[in-house]
A and B are shown apart, each in its own frame.
Chain A
Amino acid sequence: QQQVKQSPQSLIVQKGGISIINCAYENTAFDYFPWYQQFPGKGPALLIAIRPDVSEKKEGRFTISFNKSAKQFSLHIMDSQPGDSATYFCAASYLGPDKLIFGTGTRLQVFP
């Protein structure tokens, strides 16, 4: 049973547009929800993370929205750029960045 469900599988956005990726989780004991960005041939790199005591966190063009009651969280990329083209993974864990459980990934393509 997949504990973290991610959608969409792929996303095509025009430059300057908003990219939105959604994740839903099963286990209410999760207390750490990061988003990772992965370029081809590279390891994942942390983009932004949130804990369940806040409903939103913003870092530059990247925002996490968190809905504890719905057990959902999403990544919003404002003013999407071609350099944002990558695969994005949501994840969840019980004890901070430890033993992360990953979603299936979203391949984002931003066209000029």
Chain B
Amino acid sequence: EADIYQTPRYLVIGTGKKITLECSQTMGHDKMYWYQQDPGMELHLIHYSYGVNSTEKGDLSSESTVSRIRTEHFPLTLESARPSHTSQYLCASSDPTGLTEAFFGQGTRLTVV
């Protein structure tokens, strides 16, 4: 089983609040990703990182930001949550060789009211 963890699993929060979604992996993977998935829809890459102090935006524009201060930790932050941010956020990681699969966390289901 993949050792990649996301917290919280579910979050309901009011508009305008600042939130941070946590993602940690214990596999020592350099590459980490955040995907956004609306119910019943495909996953879209919103952020990725190839190592410490490396972060890039993905294909889908997002108002969230990420940081990568430690290899194992890749948190995602929304400074001011809005109802349009309601979605599921999935974190993933893969090793730099590209020879193994990308492992996904269980996701954080965010609802902004």
Q: Do A and B bind each other?
A: yes
Interface of A toward B, CB cutoff 8 Å: 6, 32, 34, 36, 41-46, 49, 87, 89, 95-105, 107
Question: Measured between alpha carbons, how far is A96 from B2 in the docked complex, in Å?
Answer: 18
One of A95, A101, A102, A105 near B98 (C-beta < 8 A): A95
Flag if B45 contacts A97 (CB, 8 Å): no
Q: How far is the CA of A99 from the CA of B94 in the complex (A)?
A: 10
Q: Assess the B102–A46 pair: CB atoms within 8 A.
A: yes
Question: In the complex, what distance in Å separates the CA atom of A102 from the CA atom of B103?
Answer: 15
- Chain B stretch 31-60: residues in CB contact (< 8 A) with chain A: 31, 33, 35, 40-45, 48, 58-59
Could you tell me the distance between the alpha carbons of A107 and B39 in the complex, rounded to whole angstroms?
Answer: 12
Residues of chain B within 8 A of A32, CB atoms compared: 98
Of A41, A44, A101, the most chain B CB neighbours within 10 A belong to A44
Binding site for A on B (CB under 8 A): 2, 6, 31, 33, 35, 40-45, 48, 58-59, 90, 92, 94, 97-107
CB distance from A105 to the nearest CB of B (A): 6
| Chain B residues, Cβ within 8 Å of A89 | 42-43
- Are A99 and B106 interface neighbours, CB within 8 A? no
Assembly CA distance A46 to B101 (angstroms):
7
B101 and A105 form a contact (CB under 8 A): no
